[in-house]
Amino acid sequence: MSGTDLDFDLGGRRALVTGAGAGVGAGIADQLASAGVHVVVNDIDPDRAGAVADRIVGAGGTSSTAVFDVTDHDAVRAAVAATGPIDVLVNNAGNAGVEGFGRLVDFVDTTPADWNAFMSVNVHGVLNCTHAVLPSMIERGWGRVITIISDSARSGGSRMAVYGAAKAAAAGLTRGIAGEVGRHGITVNNIALGTIRTEATESLWSGTDNAELQRQILSGYPIRRPGEPADVAWVTAMLASPRASWITGQTIPVNGGFSQAL
C-alpha cells in the first residue's frame, strides 16, 4: 500500500470512518490504513462497507466493518461498544439532501421535511458518533475527532442555506467540544470541503456534455479542478496523527481556494 512518503506515526491506532463506503470516506479510510491504522469502515450499506474493508486488507492493511445508521443514537452506541476502543473518529457521513450535488432551492420554497434531511445526518449523526466515542478517549487520555464539513458552513451558500446551516452547526459543536476535552489529550477539528469529484458526481465531470456547467462551477476556484478524495485524505491523516497534537478547535479548508474567508 502506498502512503509511506510521510510518517504520520499512527501505527497501532484504530479509526472509525463514517460513510466510508464510497467517495471521500473511502479515500480517507485508504489513507489511514496506509499509515498503519486499523480502519473500522462504517456505511449504512453492508456491501459498500465490505468492499472498502476488503480492498484495504488486500493492499496489506487491516480493517473491519460497522454497519449502522449514524442518525440512530442507540445503534451508534451499540456499534461503537462492539468495535472496541476508537482512537480516531472521522465524522464523514453527510447528506446534501439528495444524491449528487443536491437541488438548489430558495429557502422560502423549502419545508421542515426538507430541513430534516440536512439536519439528521449532518448534525445529529455527528452528535451521536462523537458522543459515543469520547468517554473511552477521555479514559485513555488520547483521541482525535475530525468532522468533514462544507465550505458553505464558512461562507454561506445561496439556495443551500439549510445545508450550510447544518454544516455550520457541526463546526460549532467541534469548537465547543475542543474546549472541553483538550486537557485529556484529545483534539477536535473540522475539514471544510469545496467541490469534490466522487462516484456520486462522476457523470458531471466525465465527457464533454457538461462542459459549460463544469466551467461555471470551476470558475470560482483559483485552482481550476474539482478536489479529489486524496486531497482530503492527506489532511485527515495529518490531523489524526500525533504531529497535530497542538491543533484543535480549528477548521482547515481543503477547497481549491474557493472560499478565502477567515
The string of pLDDT tens digits covering residues 154-182 is 877 778 889 999 999 999 999 999 999 99
37: left (phi over 0), alpha (psi -120 to 50) or beta: beta
Q: What is the residue range of 165's domain?
A: 14-250
- For residues 212 and 215, give the distance between their C-alpha atoms in angstroms, rounded to a whole number: 5
Task: Convert the pLDDT of each residue in 212-234 to its tens digit.
Answer: 888 887 777 778 888 899 999 99
pLDDT tens-digit series, residues 112-122: 988 998 999 99
Whether 258 is covered by a domain: the verdict is no
In a domain, 148, yes or no: yes
Whether residue 211 is contained in a domain is answered as yes
What pLDDT sits at residue 104?
79
Q: Assess whether 221 carries a catalytic annotation.
A: no
Query: Does residue 189 lie in a domain region?
Result: yes
* 49 CB neighbour count, 10 Å cutoff: 28
CATH code: domain of residue 105: 3.40.50.720
Residue 257 lies in a domain: no
Domain count, the chain: 1
Q: Is there a contact between 226 and 205 (Cβ–Cβ < 8 Å)? A: yes
Q: What is the pLDDT of residue 5?
A: 57
Q: Is residue 3 part of a domain?
A: no
Q: Is residue 9 part of a domain?
A: no
Say which residues have a Cβ less than 8 Å from residue 147's Cβ, sequence separation at least 6. Answer: 90, 91, 126, 130, 170, 171, 173, 174, 188, 189, 190, 191
The three-class DSSP label of residue 186 is strand
CB 192 within 8 A of CB 254: yes
Dmax of the chain from CA atoms?
54
Is residue 22, in this structure, part of any structural domain at all? yes
Instruction: For residue 39, give the nearest of 51, 28, 23 by alpha carbon.
Output: 28
Between CA 35 and CA 9 the distance in angstroms is: 7
CB 54 within 8 A of CB 64: no
Strands 38-43 and 62-67: parallel
Given 8, 118, 163, 258, which residue is catalytic?
163
Residues of the chain whose pLDDT is less than 50? 1-4, 98-100
